[in-house]
Amino acid sequence: MTASPGEPVSDIADPGLSEAGRARIEWAQRGMPVLRLLARRFGQARPFTGCTLAACLHVTAETAGLVTALRAGGARVFLAASNPLSTQDDVAAALAASGAATVFARAGVDPAGYRALDSQPDLVVDDGGDLVNTLHAQRPELLSGVRGGCESTATGVIRLRRMAEEGALAFPMVATDATVTKQMFDNTRGTGQSVIDGVLRATNTLLDGRVVVVAGYGACGRGIADAARGLGARVIVTEVDPVRALDAVLAGFDVLPMAVAAPAGEVLITATGSRDVIGAELLPVLRDGAILANAGHFDVEIDTRALAAEAVKVTREVRPHTDEYLLADGRRLLLLAEGRVVNLVAAEGSPPQVMDVSFAGQALVLGWLAAGQPGLDPGVHAVPPGIEEEIARLTLESLGAAIDELTAAQREYLNSWRAGR
Ligand code: NAI
């Protein structure tokens, strides 16, 4: 992508890493057949011709698959990191070098504002709501130019809904997080596997027979609980929602209040989207050697400030992504990834096969928005049902699975109350 005069240019750590990034992206793309197919389709139909797209996403090899597909469709893409710790510098370099996107991402460096907005986007892609927030709070002059966008995570959707309720959201945003396919693949399977992967990479601990406390039995929590149980852990779930808690009980997990579960926990993982789930009040009861990890979007689920205040000594990086907090009574607590999304910081996030489904949904939604949806009000919208079905069909096809079709008689039977038994 050649920069026009006055247009922002890439800000990345090391352009020399582009070859390593290209190899990493190629490996990821092998596992992303649906996005490869969409990139080919977009390359022919060019649905994003003339569109400028600002994206605030984890800058990883899988995200590169989405960027490549959008670019193939004619979009000018400006990509900012949604989390400095998940940025893969080599991928950022490869994307910038290939011209697929202008990239603002350096591992470990907080993005300086969301410079992707300087591109004056007409479409936005957000992950956590920060881009949309910044746009409304700091760049209101750009709002009228934005046709819409999509939000990929539960925390971001919650923030958008609050904005919409207050009449503050200036354009339509599609909640791509809420599709059944995304929840199934990404939040549950992908997050489940990769969160446990993050804990294991950071600590190299054995999970068999260990007590793992999972806070939150939503889409992510259930995947984490299943993955931990699959490795032999004894899993306790904590919840605030009685229906979710009941679901966890039926799945065979112990469900206890956090105050009761925490003293038993050898590994404690938060996945709630809320704050202070492991708060200051729990620090006196946690076991010596307890491993604390967060899977929620923001680093607010474990009260890391309280932990730092209680500690008499903090040893950074006793292993990569593991900090040890020594308390006055001699107990040591191990905080992974500084309390940030452990699967993205200490592991590599959801695998390509998972992100293929999530990003295919976003690519199709963006194509739908780019085609122009004049009746769509400012506010939070569900993914149109046709798109959800298309994602499922394309993914089934890529997995070599096929389904039956209803016969005419079956359709008539299912659609008529007169048909009897
Ligand atoms: P969800 O809304 O399906 O589940 C959250 C669950 O936590 C709900 O059942 C809720 O009742 C429960 N909860 C809320 N406060 C609690 C508390 N104090 N104690 C115990 N349970 C509590 O949301 P989902 O999709 O599971 O996402 C959870 C978080 O993970 C969000 O912040 C989301 O953005 C993030 N996320 C992270 C991913 C990753 O790769 N690490 C991937 C997708 C989402």
Query: Which atom of ligand 1 lies closest to the CA of 195?
Result: 41
- Hey, which of 63, 153, 184, 270 would you mutate to test ligand 1's pocket, going by the most ligand atoms within 8 Å of its Cβ? 153
**Per-residue pLDDT reduced to its tens digit, 282-305:** 999 999 999 999 999 999 999 999
Distance CA 39, CA 100 (A): 12
**CA nearest ligand 1 atom 18, residue:** 277
pLDDT band at residue 5, thresholds of 50, 70 and 90? low
How far is ligand 1, taken at its centre, from the CA of residue 274, in Å?
7
**CA nearest ligand 1 atom 2, residue:** 218
How far is ligand 1, taken at its centre, from the CA of residue 295, in Å?
8
For 44, the 3-state DSSP assignment is helix
Question: Do 11-178+350-398 and 187-340 come out as alike in CATH topology?
Answer: yes
Share of the chain above pLDDT 70, in %: 97
User: Average pLDDT in the 368-396 region?
Assistant: 94
User: Superfamily assignment of 11-178+350-398 in CATH?
Assistant: Adenosylhomocysteinase-like (3.40.50.1480)
The packing angle between helices 18-30 and 89-98, to 10°, is: 90
User: Average pLDDT in the 373-384 region?
Assistant: 94
Q: What is the pLDDT of residue 421?
A: 65
Angle at 195 between CA 192 and CA 196, to 5 degrees: 85
Q: What is the pLDDT of residue 420?
A: 67
How far is ligand 1, taken at its centre, from the CA of residue 316, in Å?
27
How far is ligand 1, taken at its centre, from the CA of residue 299, in Å?
13
How far is ligand 1, taken at its centre, from the CA of residue 152, in Å?
13
Q: What is the pLDDT of residue 86?
A: 84
How far is ligand 1, taken at its centre, from the CA of residue 187, in Å?
9
How far is ligand 1, taken at its centre, from the CA of residue 14, in Å?
35
pTM for this entry: 0.84
Query: Which atom of ligand 1 lies closest to the CA of 295?
Result: 41
**CA nearest ligand 1 atom 3, residue:** 218
User: Average pLDDT in the 129-158 region?
Assistant: 94
**Whose CA is closest to 184, among 28, 402, 386, 396?**
396
- Hey, which of 60, 63, 86, 297 would you mutate to test ligand 1's pocket, going by the most ligand atoms within 8 Å of its Cβ? 297
Q: Which of 43-52, 57-66, 98-107, 110-119 has the lowest mean pLDDT?
A: 110-119
How far is ligand 1, taken at its centre, from the CA of residue 270, in Å?
8
Look at residue 223 and tell me whether its pLDDT is greater than 80: yes
Plot region of 366 (φ>0 → left; ψ -120 to 50 → alpha; else → beta): alpha
Which protein residues touch ligand 1 with a CB less than 6 Å away? 153-155, 187, 191, 215-221, 238-241, 244, 271-274, 277, 295-297, 341, 343, 349
Provide the mean pLDDT of the chain.
Answer: 94
Query: Which atom of ligand 1 lies closest to the CA of 277?
Result: 18
Residue extents of the structural domains in the chain: 11-178+350-398, 187-340
Q: Which of 85-89, 255-259, 273-277, 301-305 has the lowest mean pLDDT?
A: 85-89
Q: How, if at all, do strands 322-327 and 311-319 pair?
A: antiparallel
How far is ligand 1, taken at its centre, from the CA of residue 216, in Å?
6
How far is ligand 1, taken at its centre, from the CA of residue 169, in Å?
23
Q: What is the pLDDT of residue 109?
A: 87
User: Superfamily assignment of 187-340 in CATH?
Assistant: NAD(P)-binding Rossmann-like Domain (3.40.50.720)
For 43, the 3-state DSSP assignment is helix
> Burial letters for 50-74: b for 16+ Cβ neighbours within 10 Å, e otherwise?
ebbbbbbbbbbbbbbbbbbbbbbbb
pLDDT band at residue 110, thresholds of 50, 70 and 90? confident
Q: How is 118-166 classified by DSSP, letter by letter? A: GG--SEEEESSSHHHHHHHHH-GGGGGG--EEEE-SHHHHHHHHHHHHT
Distances (CA, A) of 86 to 57, 106, 188, 273: 10, 9, 19, 18
Query: Which atom of ligand 1 lies closest to the CA of 274?
Result: 15
Distance CA 225, CA 219 (A): 10
Type of residue numbered 362? Q
Q: How, if at all, do strands 311-319 and 291-294 pair?
A: unpaired
